[in-house]
Chains A and B, each alone.
Chain A
Amino acid sequence: MRFTLLVGGSGGQGGMSMGMTLAESAVKGGKHASFMPLYGPEQRGGAAKCTVIISDEPIISPLPLKTDGLIAMNEASYKKYIKELRPGGLLVRNSSRSTSAIKRDDIRVLEIPADDIAVELGSSKIAGIVLIGAMLGFSNMMDPKMLMDSLEEKFESKGDAIVDLNRRALYKGVELGTKAAAG
């Protein structure tokens, strides 16, 4: 099993740290992973993307042309990176921030109003976790528990409420992703 994922968003939206946590949790879970960020000079705003590869085999090249999955966190990154998704690939799009018509018919699409779900769950900051949970449910790229273990470790010092918030966000996404994959 090998899955390549592109996460695209604007700088400061959390896409990078999300991709990093995902890859790190895969390594902790005994898989091979690489994380390759690409961003402009801006600390906030501007386009930022990262490529995460998770694989059962050691990773030879970290630079695929097309990826198996794309998480588009906003409209700009959807438009910019949709061409990098391979035919048959999975798109998880933040429909709270990206609503333009999807013109490709050779991909599978899951629209998640991640910002709205995040606010409902209690914090706008966790929209990214919802999206990544959705991709995990949609794709089977990795057991969500591996990511949850890492999130728990990462947010342990911030208290149970924050860990729980992340858990609810992740598994809400997983639920929506699994449902979409089945349907």
Chain B
Amino acid sequence: MAKLFMKGNEAVGEAAVRGGIRFFAGYPITPQSELPEYLSWRLPEVCGTFIQAESEVAAINMVYGAAATGARAMTGSSSPGISLKSEGISYLSAAELPAVIINVQRGGPGLGSIQPAQQDYLQATKAPGHGGFRMMVFAPNSIQEAVDLVYEAPEYADRDRSPVLVLMDGCLGTMMDEVELPPFKELPETICKPWTVGYDGTTRSGHLITPIYPEAGLEGKNKLAVARTKRWEENDVQVEEFMLDDAEWVIVAYGIASRVAKQAILNLRNKGVKVGMIRPITLFPFPKKSIAELDYSQVKGLIDIEMSIPALMREDIELQVLGRAPVYEYGRSGGVLLDDDSTEAAIWKIIEEASSNG
């Protein structure tokens, strides 16, 4: 298939359409706005619905409504906008509604900056809203991978009847790169599913979609969610392991940071430094095993590299390392970007200082 040269946000929009998304409600925010802009003309072409809502809160609740009817629904935003949507995401989870949510992260906290960052890791993986629910979180590191993950995201959402988050960053959203688009998925004749509201073509369904349950019922739902999380951890972890075989130093990085880290690793390997990388592709479920099962007689340390200060993934890493090796971090933040040379120098410095102390 011919390679196209596409902007990340637009490629993700096309991948969503090809993956079966037929409803999008959103509100513009940099650096994500090309996504709704693209879908505003693209969705009508495939008989889909695009709504520019009056606010982020309205958009996520429109997604709730569309998902309740069985429509494959999506919304997108950037960091502060995702905060606004968090109540709705919690409701989606409570009502067991599938939806795809895209976060093209920018600097924070607060209104932050409009430049790229990776400062929403904790929000994405720990508390995307109130009530202690979890979502699968995918973190692509290229436009191609973003396309592939967004294309498959509706399947996970439907399978689990749960919202799914694709965590990008402003670099991936606004940059342009080569991409191959997947073919259009064949869609079922009706959007109705056994649990959806509305008329399914034969009988009028009496299903009630609700985020409200009596206490005992709610506790039961909480327990089911725990079982689902366990299934994710057993079956759905995606991770890239890079040059780990002889690695004495292991970088852990996701998304755009992993691209910068990989270049730094290749440069350091040329200088004889034995460094490798673990790259979570699913941030939740987190690739615990990859870190827990490293050879700690060989590994001298792990370095968490993120476009975030502090490095937010660090606690998840430390929970797997369990003191068997020191964990370090390097990052830029607030919309200041990581770059190859500075990252290489930072890794070098960490290794050198650790070696002279040890």
The residue of chain B having its C-beta at the shortest distance from the C-beta of A58 within the complex is B178
Min CB distance B305 to A, Å, is 12
Within 8 A of A (CB), among B258-279: 259-260, 262-263, 266
The residue of chain B having its C-beta at the shortest distance from the C-beta of A66 within the complex is B341
Within 8 A of B (CB), among A18-36: 20, 23-24, 27-28, 32-36
Within 8 A of A (CB), among B98-132: 114-115
Min CB distance B133 to A, Å, is 34
Q: Residues of B contacting A34 with CB < 8 Å? A: 175-177
Min CB distance A171 to B, Å, is 24
Q: Does B30 contact A (CB under 8 A)?
A: yes
Contact B177 A63 (CB under 8 A): no
Contact B175 A36 (CB under 8 A): yes
Contact A61 B259 (CB under 8 A): yes
Distance, CA A64 to CA B263, complexed state (A): 10
Q: Residues of A contacting B175 with CB < 8 Å? A: 34-37, 62
Q: Does B337 contact A (CB under 8 A)?
A: yes
User: Which interface class (under 10, 10 to 19, 20 to 34, 35 or more) fits A?
Assistant: 20 to 34
Q: Does B205 contact A (CB under 8 A)?
A: no
Contact B176 A61 (CB under 8 A): no
Q: Does B155 contact A (CB under 8 A)?
A: no
Q: Does A41 contact B (CB under 8 A)?
A: yes
Q: Residues of A contacting B341 with CB < 8 Å? A: 64-66
| Contact of A27 with B260 at beta-carbon distance under 8 Å, contacts A35-B175, A66-B341 already known | no
Q: Does B338 contact A (CB under 8 A)?
A: yes
Min CB distance B259 to A, Å, is 5
Q: Does A40 contact B (CB under 8 A)?
A: yes
Q: Does B171 contact A (CB under 8 A)?
A: yes
User: Which interface class (under 10, 10 to 19, 20 to 34, 35 or more) fits B?
Assistant: 20 to 34
| Contact of A62 with B171 at beta-carbon distance under 8 Å, contacts A33-B178, A34-B176, A41-B30 already known | yes
Contact B262 A35 (CB under 8 A): no
Min CB distance B116 to A, Å, is 8
Contact A61 B3 (CB under 8 A): no
Contact B342 A65 (CB under 8 A): yes
| Contact of A37 with B174 at beta-carbon distance under 8 Å, contacts A61-B259, A64-B341, A65-B340 already known | yes
Q: Does A182 contact B (CB under 8 A)?
A: no
Distance, CA A64 to CA B260, complexed state (A): 8
Contact B337 A23 (CB under 8 A): no
Q: Does A60 contact B (CB under 8 A)?
A: yes
Distance, CA A60 to CA B5, complexed state (A): 16
The residue of chain A having its C-beta at the shortest distance from the C-beta of B345 within the complex is A65
Q: Residues of B contacting A102 with CB < 8 Å? A: none
A and B contact pairs by CB, cutoff 8 A, 17 listed: A23-B5, A27-B5, A35-B5, A35-B175, A36-B174, A41-B30, A60-B259, A60-B262, A61-B259, A61-B340, A62-B171, A63-B256, A63-B259, A64-B341, A65-B339, A65-B340, A65-B342
Having A60-B266, A63-B256, A65-B340, one finds 6 other A-B pairs with CB under 8 Å, namely A23-B5, A35-B176, A37-B175, A40-B114, A61-B340, A62-B259
List chain A positions with a Cβ less than 8 A from chain B: 20, 23-24, 27-28, 32-38, 40-41, 59-66
